[in-house]
Amino acid sequence: MKNINFYRRLPITMDENDIENEVIELFSNEQHYTNGVLLECLLEISERQVLNYCLLNASIRKMLNREILARWDEDSVDNTETCISIIIQLGLQTAYEYMLSKAENIMNINVKNEILETYEEMGSSVEYMGITL
């Protein structure tokens, strides 16, 4: 099983297929990770993907939309920040729209502000360095 240090030491740029394989392997071993560690590993992978200037294939993004939302803790600022970073870097529009739809009803004002600030910066679409859904 790979640990967070493995993911931190990944090359800064990676082939899209290698990145997709890392995502698949990470989630095939998800039972070995805490929620926080799994999200940190995925964040490391997403930081490599964004430099490819393309989106992961649709089936991987669909799975990631589902997995991110399942791990989002709307009471945790740190968790929310990590999820938002992954969402933006991987172009996870469905997860982004879900978070935006929940923002007004979130009780933790810091989490709510994090989501609303992201909306002010990004608008209604997840877009990064010319990658648009």
Q: What is the pLDDT of residue 51?
A: 85
Q: Can you list the pairs that 112-118 forms with residues at least 24 positions away whose Cβ atoms lie under 8 Å? A: 114/77, 114/80, 114/81, 114/84, 115/80, 115/84, 118/84, 118/88
Q: What is the pLDDT of residue 50?
A: 85
Q: Tens digits of per-residue pLDDT, 19-74? A: 999 999 999 999 999 999 999 999 999 999 988 888 899 999 999 999 999 999 99
pTM of the model: 0.93
pLDDT at 130 over 50: no
